[in-house]
Structure 1
Amino acid sequence: MAGLEDAGTDLPHFHGHRERLRARFRDGGAAVLADYELLELALFRALPRRDTKPLAKALLKRFGTLAEVLAASPQRLREVDGVGEGVVLELKLMKAISERMARETVRKRTVLSSWSALLDYCRTAMAYEEREQFRILFLDKKNALIADEVQQTGTVDHTPVYPREVVRRALELSASAVILVHNHPSGDPTPSRADIQMTQSIVDVAKPLGIVVHDHLVVGRDGHASFRGLGLI
């Protein structure tokens, strides 16, 4: 009996905590866990011999939300004490899976009939990025998604966009329509004057070639803006 007691003392101090956390998630799902507890669970595999609670709390303190933790660049993640390549890989994997799930929801239906799913996907993929990205969704005649491509990545407040390149790519894909999407790392999705001018340039180049610009969406942490909804297209 003494031998069993001695063996028990060799277990990490957080061993019981991990099992209890797994049991709570198994029995009650994500709703019964705080954000830092979900992050703890996610880090179990990357850090099998460490208490992941302090790191989970440190990541949330640094970046603010789960979405922002997942969207943070590997370089910024590594600035948090305790984050190594295993943790970075696990977090980037979670981000990739969440994006893939959101994109598949959009792919299964015509884009214009699943607008809320489209917005969810765009926010998942782009809202918390640290640099501006310009993405184009290419649609066929039935408004089904042909391709989803990031055309340009810029700085924190600017992405170079070339209207003729946008239209050239649409012609290559035999797309009948496009939806333009870009993010504002500042969080405020309000379109800038440059955004409005660039969008009008794309509309002007696309229209004579029979390519419709359905909308231009700007996404940020604080929400989204629709050019069509604002009467800008």
Structure 2
Amino acid sequence: MSDKPLHNGHRERLTDLIMNCGIENVSDIQAVEFVLTYIFPRGDVNPLAHRLIDQFENFGNIVDANYQDLMKIKGINERSAKKISLLSEIFYYYSSSKMRKKLSLENKEEFYDFLEELLRFKNTENLFVFAIDHSFHILQKRRYDLKQVREVGIDPLEIFSLIHSTRASSLLIAHNHPNGTAKPSKDDSDAFLYIEDLIKNVHCSLIDSLVVGNDGIYSEKKDGFVRRFETLDNIISFISSK
């Protein structure tokens, strides 16, 4: 007898569980298994969820993994590996589409919310350059692989092109430190000064350089945290100070 109805029933129960409890309140295996049902329309994906967690430890590492590494896992072919690795693009598109309501830097807390959602839980380093108009609305943003930027730098023509095409009056840059403090390194500070000096030539100003780490959001302009995240270390430090 076919086991298809059995698997379908399990998928329905898993969907109902997550609808009722929220995906953050189920086990890692259940969460990964649920996501896999979108990639594998049929069959039991629970064993595959276990293999992925065993290899990559958590959902974030699975999504950020190179698709060629995913193909080494039993049960994953090239097509499904690419679909898994493209999940991060879907999440990025979701965050990006929310910005289309024209976020304004005048509402700093709303912008920090957006930036936290965009960068806080990224397992890879990303750099964003935001084009800003005279009213402090965000016109456009461009994303760069920070590892590549550190190796070859940002082409000044790309920066000038962004300013020219959007008619931006100022820029804001932001990047993340995965699993590290938001406090900027010397390279971060040098890059901030380089871009600030570069865009003066086209009558554009650099509003700030923000760094998102596991402890908060740091402003290089203000030389301090503009938002602190609730981490275990912060909580312990707060309790110890009492």
What TM-score do you get using the length of structure 2 for normalisation?
A: 0.74
Cα drift, residue 21 of structure 1:
1.2
Cα drift, residue 221 of structure 1:
5.7
Instruction: Identify if the C-alpha distance between structure 1 residues 193 and 90 changes in structure 2 by more than 3 Å, giving closer, same or farther.
Output: same
**Equivalent position of 2:143 in the other structure:** 150
Q: Which of 92, 112, 116 pairs up with 1:120?
A: 116
Q: Which of 2, 5, 8 pairs up with 1:10?
A: 2
Amino acid at match of 1:181: A
2:63–2:85 Cα contact (<8 Å) kept? yes
Distance 2:203 2:172 in 1: 14
Instruction: Identify if the C-alpha distance between structure 1 residues 178 and 157 changes in structure 2 by more than 3 Å, giving closer, same or farther.
Output: closer
**Is 217-226 or 136-145 further displaced after alignment?**
217-226
Amino acid at match of 2:115: L
Instruction: Identify if the C-alpha distance between structure 1 residues 28 and 151 changes in structure 2 by more than 3 Å, giving closer, same or farther.
Output: closer
Structural mapping, 1:1-233, within 5 Å: 9-12=1-4, 14-112=7-105, 113=107, 114-123=110-119, 127-129=122-124, 132-151=125-144, 154-155=147-148, 158=151, 160-163=153-156, 165-184=158-177, 187-207=180-200, 209-220=202-213, 224-230=217-223
Report the RMSD for the aligned CA atoms in angstroms: 3.2
2:131–2:162 Cα contact (<8 Å) kept? no
2:132–2:138 Cα contact (<8 Å) kept? yes
Which ranges in structure 2 are unaligned for 5 or more consecutive residues?
A: 226-242
1:138–1:175 Cα contact (<8 Å) kept? yes
Instruction: Identify if the C-alpha distance between structure 1 residues 140 and 188 changes in structure 2 by more than 3 Å, giving closer, same or farther.
Output: same
Amino acid at match of 1:116: Y
**Is 181-190 or 139-148 further displaced after alignment?**
181-190
User: Any idea what the Cα deviations from partners look like across 1:195-220, whole Å, max 9, x if unmatched?
Assistant: 21121121123235432212212345
User: Any idea what the Cα deviations from partners look like across 1:58-77, whole Å, max 9, x if unmatched?
Assistant: 32333333233222222232
1:216–1:227 Cα contact (<8 Å) kept? yes
Secondary structure of the structure 2 residue equivalent to 1:137: strand
**Is 22-31 or 97-106 further displaced after alignment?**
22-31
Secondary structure of the structure 1 residue equivalent to 2:2: coil
Cα drift, residue 157 of structure 1:
6.1
Amino acid at match of 2:175: H
1:167–1:202 Cα contact (<8 Å) kept? no
Of structures 1 and 2, the larger Rg is shown by 1
User: Any idea what the Cα deviations from partners look like across 1:66-101, whole Å, max 9, x if unmatched?
Assistant: 233222222232233322234324324432232122
Distance 1:186 1:230 in 2: 20
User: Any idea what the Cα deviations from partners look like across 1:152-204, whole Å, max 9, x if unmatched?
Assistant: 65349645134565245313421111111234457454422122112112112
Identity of aligned residues (%): 25
Instruction: Identify if the C-alpha distance between structure 1 residues 176 and 25 changes in structure 2 by more than 3 Å, giving closer, same or farther.
Output: same
